[in-house]
Structure 1
Amino acid sequence: MLAARLRVGLGGQGVAVSGRGWGRVAFSAVGVAVGLTVLIGGLGASAMVPRLAGAGWEPPYSLDVRPSAYLVISMAALAILAGTGGLAAGLVAVRRGWDARGLSAFGALSAVVLGFLPPSGSSDHLSYAAYGRIAVLGLDPYAVPPEGVPGDPVTADVEEWRGTTSVYGPVATAVQALASLVGGDSVRLTVFGLSVANVAAFLGTGWLLRRLWADPERRRRVALLWTANPLLLYHLVAGAHVDVLALVFVVAAVVTFGRLPVVSGALVGLGMAVKLPVGLVSLGIAWALRRDVRRLLAVAGSALVVLVAAYALVGGHALDQVRRASEFVSLAVPWQLVDGRRHGFGLPRDVIRFAWVAVAVLLAWLLLRALPRAYPAGARPAGAPPYGEGAPPDTGEDARSAAARVGLAVVSAWLLAAPYSLPWYDGLGFALLAMVPASGFDGFAVARTGLLSLAYLPAREAGRPPELDWLVTVVRSQVVPWALTALLAGLVWWALARRPRSPSGPAGPPPSAPSRGSRSPSR
């Protein structure tokens, strides 16, 4: 039917109709995904939603239906599948002219609603609440684990990580301590304080991304890949993961590095003081400033000052758990298939620790070749798309676009190659993806997050019936690692098949003089 409608009309009219058709599919699927995510939280405590101790009148709010584990896990699986399909359809629709009207408002409203529901999908927020509580009690969350404070009403509710000290940076701990000050002895109110901070960071990141560009097509990508992204709403907002606090800082750093390099560097330092890996974004900023040594030194210097000062306040031992975590191999990644500690064969962890870096470097190089560059301001040739590969000769890439493109290549290489990776880590990749032109890489990014999300249904162990252990032993440990391996092979093939792009555009006739009636080059 869509194919028939595509043939209706002449020129761009058929494309616009087709874009609206794909847009309806995308909006419907995204709506189903977000609706199911809201429903999971709204039903109350379950295998997907940890119980929150506290007074019933305190937020977050939910019913007390006590649904079965089979029901809520099935709902989560459907939400992930619908969200992944909706994102894929939306990417097609946007490239065919869909205006995505109302998508940003829908995403923002959904984030606010999810902020008033109990977090779902994992129990990490209980650990965040405990670390904040430990800090408020005058203890050191980098030295004292939750089980080290027996009898406390907040630390007692931690599930999987009771014996683990904080792996998060000083800024994250400060936010957690502030939430604990608000919540006091109430786990419920403490978690709500954390959710408010996360929703504010999520919406702030979307606002920054939207303000970054005046071009309507770029703003549509922001709406789809960030504000109304059902996978990010599922993980970062409904899941209440701390990662989003780091993302708002590094996105702001990309926005400000041209005019306010000292501020930009300080923002990078603050982001790294939440989670260290977000500092990879600074490599994109460094590339964009490679010919401006003064600004480059200002960014690097202020980032270093803020980061060192933050860790000096809590002590260098705050990095001990980070160093221990760097030796982990998560179940759903390809490295798990050759992990010698889990199998009678395979590679020692020390070998994996070095091998993944080599793989990441190769992937970063391939992505730098393959990802398209954006047109600089005022350099778009007549008849060309608003942005994308093929800028006229002798024009450089827009600086912020260059920072986002290089940052995306490096961050994606880390996400794809790292031996320890969880689906909510992909928020950093999507923030950068929303800043760059459309390409085939969009599909790989969406597919990876969808697959990894299916591996963690749910991410918490408590409440999952023994009959569903196959979700871990089969899906998480076998099916998804092999699927991600195949996806990685496909990405390498795609990147190798792409010709390197330069500001002078692809080989062939100059883009500044397109033939009459020609279509824009495929992105």
Structure 2
Amino acid sequence: MSHNASDAGDRAGVTRVRVRLGFLVASFALLLVVGLSLPHAAAPDLGPRGWAPGHLLPFALDPALVTAAMWTAYVLGAAAIVLAVTGSGGRELPRPVVAVLALLAALATPFGSGDHVSYAAYGRILALGDNPWLVSPNTWRGGTDPVVSRVEAPWTEEPSVYGPFATLIQGLTSHGGGDNLRQTVWLWQLIVIASWLAVRWALRRMLPGREARIDAIWTANPLVFSVGVLGAHVDLLATALVVLAVWAAHRHAGLGGAALAGTFAALAVSSKFTYAVVLLALLLAFQRRRLARGGVLLASTAVVAGALQLWAGPNVYDQIGRSAKAVALASPWRWFLEAFNGGPTVRSLISALAAVAAIGFAFCFFRLIRPHRESTVGARALAWLVVLTGAYALAAPYSLPWYDVIVWAGLPAVGAAAVAVVDLILLARLWIMTMAYTPGRVLGMTPAVEDVTMTVRTQVAPAVLLAVWAWLVRSAGRGGSRQQPADRPEGSAPRR
């Protein structure tokens, strides 16, 4: 290659890095403006701030502006991720940058849904001695409590769907926040931010040599940062517990490591039941002493989760059974439901078809990723998480953008042979879901904004997701058989 060609390639690489950095800065800036401004269509009013941080920006965004800001941030953020995964892979973030992002997230007000208000309500019901799995917010104490009465539609009549550990943490934040909603939510935000940092910490220890990819996929990912951290969703707490379970099995080779992994797994399952997927991922990742380690893993999970279940009582998972056949507006399955006029039989058929689709998508992801038998147990388990949770997120009739957080926590483990296609398929899914659920609340929108956003949610998103399904199947069929095993993290030796 001539010097001129080499210089041109270097200049193109530098330009690419600068463009990506510009996209990231603009995306994060827009998201933080949304989070730091006064209450608006994406962020419910949390009332007096008490000793918690207030709104740093003295203006409110109207519904059209907040929607445009979020959509622009998601487009720029997705473009930055495309540049990272198809180019140099990004750069490792300096610690001060990570600290600044965490600080700004702590100063922001959660947005994108009203779920954090529901968390505060369930925690307060528990903290004051009642059962959040039996009592709905609009009936508790006559609907006059200063925290619980602030729950927003459509969840005012719904008891808690979350597990005992997550609800216990919510109860602790309620004890700290008292009868002030903003204080309670802020303490919950600190839990979520700590979870986001814990995932980064654990991934860096399990995947040495991939620090830049971890930051490109996880830490400096505006879409994950928005729906997980700035959205203050319980899914980020559950994801951190899952990743810590994998770290425990990776760090400690013996049965003690399996027991510790089972403890973290139990806490994840007891936060949100679907996170039991970590058990299957670990069982598939174990090689040496698979039977013994698997037995200890399952036994410790059963003991810890069982103890939490006994403490919480028999009604913890009532809501899961009642909501099992829900179909989201942005799901392709919604078209199927409406085409046949709904009804219990159609919903049951959709559940069955979705289960078959999830198995098929998992097989497709397996062909593309092929978790490496010679890599570390942590890398294998994380890759299996991508296979399993990626398939579930794509196939589930009821799925929301923050359900993808666990997928992206495992994605840094996927090796270079499969990186581009898997990253881009999952990015397409996360991007269209973030666009579909903007601003995210059912309150505070003008009719014109509601019409536009509902068109994206009910018409554009299902069509894009159908295209993503086809893309995954085609990629697995054409390229899966030619994929090489996922690469071992640089600088690491095979373990267990």
TM-score w.r.t. length of structure 1:
0.86
Distance across 2 between alignment mates of 1:309 and 1:37: 40
- TM-aligned CA deviation for residue 346 of structure 1: 12
Secondary structure (helix, strand or coil) at the match of 1:147 reads: coil
Q: Does 1:138 align with 2:129?
A: yes
- In structure 2, relative to structure 1, the CA distance for the partners of 1:107 and 1:86 (3 Å cut) is farther
**Alignment partners' CA distance in 2, 1:505 and 1:82:** 29
- What residue is the counterpart of 1:509 in the other structure? none
Aligned to 2:246: 254
Aligned partners of 1:171 and 1:6: how far apart in 2? 62
Question: Are 2:379 and 1:401 aligned?
Answer: yes
RMSD: 2.4
Q: Deviations over 1:352-400 (max 9, x none)?
A: 11111111111111211111545xxxxxxxxxxxxxxxxxxxx734322
- Give the fraction of aligned pairs with identical amino acids, expressed as a percent: 31
How much has 1:479 moved relative to structure 2? 0.9
Structure 2 vs 1, CA of residues 174 and 474 (structure 1 numbering), >3 Å: closer, same or farther?
same
SS at match of 1:139: coil
Structure 1 unaligned regions, length at least 5? 375-394, 507-523
Corresponding residue to 2:22 among 28, 34, 38: 28
* In structure 1, C-alpha distance between the alignment counterparts of 2:36 and 2:242, rounded to whole Å: 32
1:321 counterpart letter in structure 2: Q
How many aligned residue pairs are there?
475
For 2:401, which of 417, 420, 423 is the aligned residue? 423
Residue in structure 1 matching 2:437, options 428, 436, 456: 456
Closer/same/farther in 2, CA of residues 469 and 112 from structure 1, 3 Å limit: same
Between 1:306-315 and 1:341-350, the stretch displaced more is 341-350
Q: For 1:157 and 1:276, how far apart are their aligned partners in 2?
A: 26
- Alpha-carbon shift at residue 478 of structure 1 (Å): 1.0
CA–CA separation in structure 2 for the residues paired with 1:119 and 1:6? 53
CA gap of 1:56–1:295, structure 2 versus 1, over 3 A, is closer
Q: Distance in 1 between matches of 2:50 and 2:3?
A: 57
1:223 Cα deviation from its structure 2 partner:
0.4
Query: Cα gap change, 1:285/1:17 in structure 2, threshold over 3 Å: closer, same or farther?
Result: farther
Inter-CA distance 405–505: structure 2 relative to 1 (3 Å threshold): closer
- The answer to whether the 8 Å contact 1:20/1:93 transfers is no
Aligned position for 2:426: 445
Give the structure 2 partner of residue 521 of structure 1. Answer: none
| Cα distance in structure 2, aligned partners of 1:103 and 1:234 | 20
Residue 24 of structure 1, CA deviation: 1.7
Tell me which residue corresponds to 1:387: none
Q: Where does 1:7-406 land on structure 2 (aligned, <5 Å)?
A: 8=4, 10=6, 17-55=11-49, 58-95=52-89, 98=90, 100-102=91-93, 105-149=96-140, 150-160=143-153, 161-215=155-209, 218-258=210-250, 259=252, 260-292=257-289, 293-340=291-338, 343=341, 348-374=346-372, 396-406=374-384
8 A Cα contact 2:37 2:55, kept in partner: no
Decide whether aligned partners of structure 1 residues 325 and 20 sit closer, same or farther in structure 2, where only a CA change above 3 A counts.
Answer: farther
Q: Shift in Å at residue 25 of structure 1?
A: 1.7
CA contact 2:92–2:215 (8 Å) conserved in 1: no
Q: Which amino acid aligns with 1:139?
A: D
Of 496-505 and 139-148, deviating more is 496-505
Could you tell me whether the CA contact under 8 Å between 1:338 and 1:347 is conserved in 2?
no
The separation in 2 between residues aligned to 1:437 and 1:17, in whole angstroms, is: 27
- Secondary structure of 2:439's match? coil
CA distance in 2, matches of 1:69, 1:473: 14
Write the distance in 2 (CA, Å) between the matches of 1:360 and 1:222.
26
Question: Cα offset for 1:299?
Answer: 1.1
**SS of aligned partner of 1:348:** helix
**Distance in 2 between the 1:104 and 1:91 partners?**
22
Q: Which amino acid aligns with 2:261?
A: S
8 Å contact kept, 1:172–1:242: yes
Change (3 A) 1:246 1:323: same
Q: Give the TM-score of the pair, scaled to structure 2.
A: 0.90
Distance 1:423 1:224, change over 3 A: same
CA pair 346-129 structure 1, distance change in 2 beyond 3 A? closer
What is the distance in 1 between the residues matched to 2:123 and 2:480? 50
Structure 1 residue identity aligned to 2:75: L
- Residue 515 (structure 1) aligns with: none
Amino acid at match of 1:237: V
Taking CA–CA contacts closer than 8 Å with sequence separation of 6 or more, which of the two structures ends up with the larger relative contact order? 2
Unaligned runs of 5+ in 2: 488-496
Cα deviation, residue 253, structure 1 = 1.1
> What is the deviation of 1:101?
4.3
Q: Hey, what's the Cα distance between the residues in 1 that align with 2:178 and 2:2?
A: 59
Query: Quick one: distance in 2 between partners of 1:153 and 1:319?
Result: 27
Q: Quick check: which one's helix share is greater?
A: 2
Alpha-carbon spacing, 1:269–1:346, altered in 2? closer, same or farther (3 Å): closer
